[in-house]
Structure 1
Amino acid sequence: MTIRVRPISPEEHLAFVATRGTASFLQTPAWAAVKAEWRGESLGWFDGDRLVGAGLVLYRQVPKVKRYLAYLPEGPVLDWSGDVAAALSALRDHLKANGAFGIRIGPPAVLRRWEAATLKAALADDVLTRLGDVPADHRDERAIALADTLTSLGWREQAAEGGFSAGQPKYNFQVPLAGRSEDDVLAGMNQLWRRNIRKAAKQGVEVTLGTRDDLVEFHRVYVETAERDHFTPRPLAYFQTMWDAMTAEDPQRLRLYLARHEGDLVAATTLVQVGTHAWYSYGASTTAKREVRGSNAIQWQMIRDSLAGGAEVYDMRGITDTLDTDDSHVGLLQFKVGTGGEAVEYLGEWDLPISRPLYAAFTAYMKRRG
């Protein structure tokens, strides 16, 4: 089999994703417009004339030198269960010819899964401090073999919290939806989640879909959340660009949810869906009126809409691997576990240095930037 990689149009790219059922939203053409500080390119993998893979590559330039890190977040979209050596070799050849000094990929392969009951028991165990130390309920031997293959081909697994600032989370939390009804999902939640959903409804919390104009209100609450939780917020323009790019690609790609109580905005979130996979991408809530449980109400509405929209997975995105109750990050896992979903460990991100001196220099530069 001879595989070649060449640029393809956004239309070809999207058509291929549609044949696969889903792909990460970070691997859609629209994401290139969102990440304006990178130069984007849609690539196709061809076996003869047949398109067998697609991906979005983002190029980031080395300061003062026309050489690039080539980054394919949560991608590319390939058949990762087969022989990937030819596909990765073709990718390397194309990117090297375009000035790349190194490549970073994120194969969307899941190594391990932990069910809610296992996670609940682990959180209650004082001895366990890391999710990776907990025996998994499910292991994928093909993903484990893929890691060995990547290593043999010269790729390097990156630390989940180190390396380039563009890195994606290795651990995520997901609620399986395939073959389930709303009642099934609700029954799978813990008692506290069900009680909070009922309380929000009794208190009169209303969840509605917003428009681009409502991003201003979303951002106001998002900034408040950032100050409370001590993270640096993205500017309003970032979300406006995301809205314009993603809804132009598909009117249902990005949705804004607003939870109000007696006219006051108490929570706001964004939901992204590509085929059968839906992601809770950004969330915000006010300090005031937390007792009306707007965050639970808005999550439940997004889950219901994801089910109605044909999603098989509701993805609540990243979690850290800590189980230490003294660690402030553990609260996020505790909140998500209440949905009755599962923690998943992806294969993570892998780098292939092409020019080792430039790769080392760029890695050091990005670490200095924090």
Structure 2
Amino acid sequence: MYTYQVGISAQEHDAFVKESNQTNLLQSSNWAKIKDNWGNDRLGFYKDGKLLAVASVLIQPLPLGFTLIYIPRGPIMNYNDKDLVNFVIKSLKKYGKTKRALFIKFDPSLFLKQTNLSEKEAKSDDNFETLSIIETLTQVGAQWGGRTTDISENIQPRFQANIYSKDFDFDSLPKKTKQSIKQSRNRGVVVEFGGAEFLPDFAELMKKTESRKGIHLRGLDYYQKLLATYPDDSYVTMAFLNLPERIAKLETQKDKCLTEKASFTEKTRQSKVDNNAKELERLEEEIAFLTSKLSQKGDKVPLAATISLNFGNTSENIYAGMDDDFKRYLPAINVWYETANHAFEKGIEWQNMGGVENDLSGGLYNFKSKFNPTIEEFIGEFNIPVNPILYRLSNLAYSIRKKLRSKH
């Protein structure tokens, strides 16, 4: 006999999620602490006392005492078990009525397509098992949002770039990516790993990213909350440049250029003279640039950084920022590589680099594709109507509000 329980323990919930093939940070019990402006419950679904499905639900209060319920990357269950799926959806609807929910939105961690960009001819077909799951869910009353075409149409990105440890090593990266990482290192960029002590610098990098992209991101308090909530499963990866060391190296190179220039005679090839002049100009420009920054920022300057949260055998690159003034040092590609590598050294199986544009073009895709990730297309969002009378109007209002917010 099937039963369900509201308020299962965090330990029982998390253990089930971690043992699942749908493990996701957003279904960890601690994620609700991050989203503390929402209410939260943990539901367990049982058959003859055995736990078969879980859902950590977020509850958003609405006017007039109504609510919206959202299950990020859940529920976690065997979606091929039609009887179980039917029971879970019907139970969620019953639960939703107790919370005066207008509807319940969920987006399972299931893939319609996975394309590994490391393959020479990267292509993949739709997952027929996932297509059949869509049919099962719609048969039991869930309404599918379809294969949306814009990244802003869903709460969570429907396409993501994911790196798997089994496919990841420096030598397997594209030639240009390896060259960029080496160039960054050769230009003096050093990557370090830390925690809360890096957050003030991280917050400043995020402000610069906000300004550059014209978007609104989080502040220092939020980043502190992330690390405090996942104290043993979080890290900051930060790229630094030691300005005095870099300037000293450039001065040495400049002296060599001047020595070479002094050795030129009338017989020296013009191309050699021209190359020497260009190199001197480059060195003097960079020395002047770094000297000006030295007086503003001090000796050790943060250039780019990421925050990662681990859960089970998975890792999520949650936020990333960069100081665009130092883009010539290629810090972002360096720090993203080291972020993933650090996760895999800890035994993580995959690291999610985050969402990309649904049409696989644009800045997010172009940057993340440099790491030969697997591009994963999620199944997308489903709605369970709870209040039949108000559902259509409320869902329309929700969609309009989301589109308007995506423009800011």
Tell me the TM-score normalised to structure 2 length: 0.78
For the residues of structure 2 that align with 1:143 and 1:234, how far apart are their CA atoms? 34
Structure 1: unaligned runs, 5 residues or longer: 123-135, 325-329
State the Cα deviation string for residues 142-199 of structure 1 (Å, max 9, x = none).
1110011122222222364789987111111112223x5xxx5223211111011111
Q: Distance in 2 between matches of 1:32 and 1:43?
A: 13
Residue identity matched to 1:342: T
Taking the aligned partners of 1:17 and 1:206, their CA distance within structure 2 comes to 36
1:302-331 C-alpha deviation (Å, 9 max, x unpaired): 12112112222221111112356xxxxx12
Select the residue among 338, 342, 345 that pairs with 2:374. Answer: 342
Structure 1 residues 86, 219: CA separation in 2 closer, same or farther (over 3 Å shift)? same
Tell me how far apart the structure 1 counterparts of residues 95 and 336 of structure 2 sit (CA, whole Å). 42
Equivalent residue for 1:40?
40
Number of the residue aligned with 1:320? 357
1:354 aligns with 2:386: yes
Matches within 5 A, 1:119-138: 136-138=123-125
Matched-pair contact (CA < 8 Å) for 2:150–2:357: no
Residues 48-67 of structure 1 correspond to what in structure 2 (within 5 A)? 48-63=48-63, 65-67=64-66
Matched to 1:245, the amino acid is T
Which residue of 2 is the match for residue 199 of structure 1?
A: 183
Structure 2 distance, partners of 1:303, 1:284, is: 16
Partner amino acid, structure 2, of 1:158 = G
Alignment of 1:1-370 (within 5 A): 1-20=1-20, 23-63=23-63, 65-83=64-82, 84-116=85-117, 136-158=123-145, 160=148, 167-178=155-166, 180=167, 185-247=169-231, 251-252=232-233, 254-262=234-242, 263-323=300-360, 330-366=362-398, 367-368=400-401, 370=405
Q: CA deviation at 1:351?
A: 0.6
One-letter amino acid of the counterpart of residue 201, structure 2:
E
* Residue 6 of structure 1: how far off its partner (Å): 2.4
Contact 1:5 1:94 in 2 (8 A): no
Asked if the contact 1:211–1:256 (Cα under 8 Å) also holds between the matched residues in 2, the reply is yes
**Higher share in helix:** 2
Q: Whose radius of gyration is greater, 1 or 2?
A: 2
TM-score by length of 1: 0.85
Tell me by how many angstroms 1:210 deviates.
2.5
- Give the paired residue count: 342
Higher alpha-carbon deviation: 66-75 or 158-167: 158-167
RMSD: 2.4
Identical counterparts, % of pairs: 22
Match of 2:30, as an amino acid? Answer: A
Q: Which amino acid aligns with 1:331?
A: G
Once residues 304 and 99 of structure 2 are traced to their aligned partners in structure 1, the CA distance between those partners, rounded to angstroms, is 44
- Runs of at least 5 residues in structure 2 that lack an aligned partner in the other structure: 243-299
Letter in 2 for 1:78: M
Find the aligned partners of 2:19 and 2:313 in 1 and give their Cα distance.
12
CA separation in 1, counterparts of 2:114 and 2:228? 35
Q: Give the secondary structure class of the aligned counterpart of 2:324.
A: coil
CA distance in 1, matches of 2:188, 2:396: 52
